[in-house]
Structures are given as structure tokens and as C-alpha cells.
Chains A and B, each alone.
Chain A
Amino acid sequence: SQTIHQWPATLVQPVGSPLSLECTVEGTSNPNLYWYRQAAGRGLQLLFYSVGIGQISSEVPQNLSASRPQDRQFILSSKKLLLSDSGFYLCAWDSGQGRGEQFFGPGTRLTVL
């Protein structure tokens, strides 16, 4: 069966520090991968998605970047964090078969101080 992992679960970082959040998927090949951010009590904002290795599309211009070095690995990065980068970051995948049903990781709670 398929599983999706995210780490770390929580992270507290100072303003101006770098960021690296990792997401890996098991049990499937060539998934579409997504990074979302969720503000407290709000819906999901799509940040990046990827349909294949090295292929990244950005939905919102911002301080963050994403990379997909391997088929089932998706990384969210920043060189210098801002206070506004605080939030709950969710990674998700789908099979790319057209139904669009997505499977989410447990999320990373990022607090920038």
C-alpha cells in the first residue's frame, strides 16, 4: 500500500534562517506531488506541484522553492525565512490518472520567530 511521509513534524526557526522540508512517497511510481500551506483555521493554498523528476510549477510567487530530485521525493526550501512563512505545510500526492483524489502527509508545523 502507499504511504507518504513528511518530516520534521514541527519546526521552530529564526527569521533569516534556511529551511528544508522533506516529503517522500512509498508504494507508487511517477506520482504527481504537491506542497500546500495552511494558515491557522483556513483552507489550503497550493504552493508547488510536480508531475515528474525535475519538473516544478509554482503557483504563488514567494520566498520558497521546491525540488524533486527523485521520483518519490519532494523538497520544500527557503534560503531565508520570513515571519510570514509560518504555517502548516502539507505534502500530497495523486496518481495522475485524472481523478484528482489526493493523499496527504501528516504535515509540518513551522513557526518562524
Chain B
Amino acid sequence: SQQGEEDPQALSIQEGENATMNCSYKTSINNLQWYRQNSGRGLVHLILIRSNEREKHSGRLRVTLDTSKKSSSLLITASRAADTASYFCATLKGAGNMLTFGGGTRLMVKP
């Protein structure tokens, strides 16, 4: 299966609630990144966490990385309807610059 698998595949929450998405991967990584994609659009880079980091914040986003479990989570706090999108994790291995993307989590935030 793919390096970088998100769960859940789909998530529906009410505005104001927190949204948590998880990503698991199989091999050692250099860093892990989260991207957002609005329907029918390109991906937008959200946040990057290096393999020697455990937690990172950016605005309402909080990313954790557990290299022993080969997993990461993306938390969006106080969600808004505008957060509705698909969210992808991507891993960068030690050699080269190629990212491997997971299948994504489709988040719907209801107003």
C-alpha cells in the first residue's frame, strides 16, 4: 500500500468543533507535510514537520509526529465552513526530493 495513508477518509463536523486527521507511513522519512486541496483546485502547502520534531503549530493548525509509530496527526481547531476541503499528508524520504502522497481526508465543516 501507499506511503502515507490518511484516516478517516471522510469527516463531517459542525463549525466551531475541532477536526483531527491522521496519517500513517511505512518507511523512514526526512519530513512530513500536510497539504490542503479545495475541490477542483491545486494543492496548497500547509505545514512541514521534520523527522526530529514532535509538534508544530501554525495558526489554528497543530501537527504532531510520532516517528516510533510512523504516524502524524493534523488538528484544526475551531473549524470554519471555509476549512471544507481535502487534506493530504505527504512524506519526503532521505534521498531525492520526491514526495509520496496519501489518499487524503475529505473534511466537511457544516455552518
Task: Please determine whether B30 and A100 come into contact, CB atoms closer than 8 angstroms.
Answer: yes
- Indicate whether A98 sits within 8 Å of B97 (C-beta atoms), given known contacts A43-B88, A43-B104, A44-B88: yes
Say if the beta carbon of B25 comes within 8 Å of chain A: no
- Indicate whether A43 sits within 8 Å of B101 (C-beta atoms), given known contacts A104-B42, A105-B42: yes
Task: Please determine whether B31 and A99 come into contact, CB atoms closer than 8 angstroms.
Answer: yes
For the complex, what is the distance from the CA of A113 to the CA of B88, rounded to whole Å?
Answer: 29
Task: Please determine whether B104 and A42 come into contact, CB atoms closer than 8 angstroms.
Answer: yes
Report the count of interface residues on B (CB-CB < 8 A): 25
Say if the beta carbon of A106 comes within 8 Å of chain B: yes
- Indicate whether A100 sits within 8 Å of B92 (C-beta atoms), given known contacts A90-B43, A107-B40, A109-B40: yes
A111 to chain B, nearest CB (A): 13
Task: Please determine whether B43 and A104 come into contact, CB atoms closer than 8 angstroms.
Answer: yes
Task: Please determine whether A46 and B98 come into contact, CB atoms closer than 8 angstroms.
Answer: yes
Question: Is chain B's binding surface mostly helix, strand, loop or mixed?
Answer: strand
Q: Taking CB as reference atom, which chain B residue is nearest A98?
A: B97
For the complex, what is the distance from the CA of A104 to the CA of B41, rounded to whole Å?
Answer: 9
For the complex, what is the distance from the CA of A94 to the CA of B96, rounded to whole Å?
Answer: 12
Task: Please determine whether A100 and B33 come into contact, CB atoms closer than 8 angstroms.
Answer: yes
For the complex, what is the distance from the CA of A88 to the CA of B42, rounded to whole Å?
Answer: 10
Kindly list chain A residues whose C-beta atoms are within 8 Å of the C-beta of B90: 100, 102
B13 to chain A, nearest CB (A): 19
Task: Please determine whether A107 and B41 come into contact, CB atoms closer than 8 angstroms.
Answer: yes
Contacting residues of chain A (19-45) with chain B, CB-CB under 8 angstroms:
32, 34, 36, 41-44
Kindly list chain A residues whose C-beta atoms are within 8 Å of the C-beta of B104: 42-43
Interfacial residues, chain B to chain A (CB-CB below 8 A): 2, 4, 30-31, 33, 35, 40-45, 48, 88, 90, 92, 97-104, 106
User: Can you list 30 A-B pairs with a CB-CB distance of less than 8 A?
Assistant: A34-B98, A42-B103, A43-B2, A43-B88, A43-B101, A43-B102, A43-B103, A43-B104, A44-B43, A44-B88, A44-B101, A46-B98, A90-B42, A90-B43, A96-B97, A98-B30, A98-B97, A100-B30, A100-B31, A100-B90, A100-B92, A101-B45, A102-B45, A102-B90, A102-B99, A103-B45, A104-B42, A104-B43, A104-B44, A107-B40
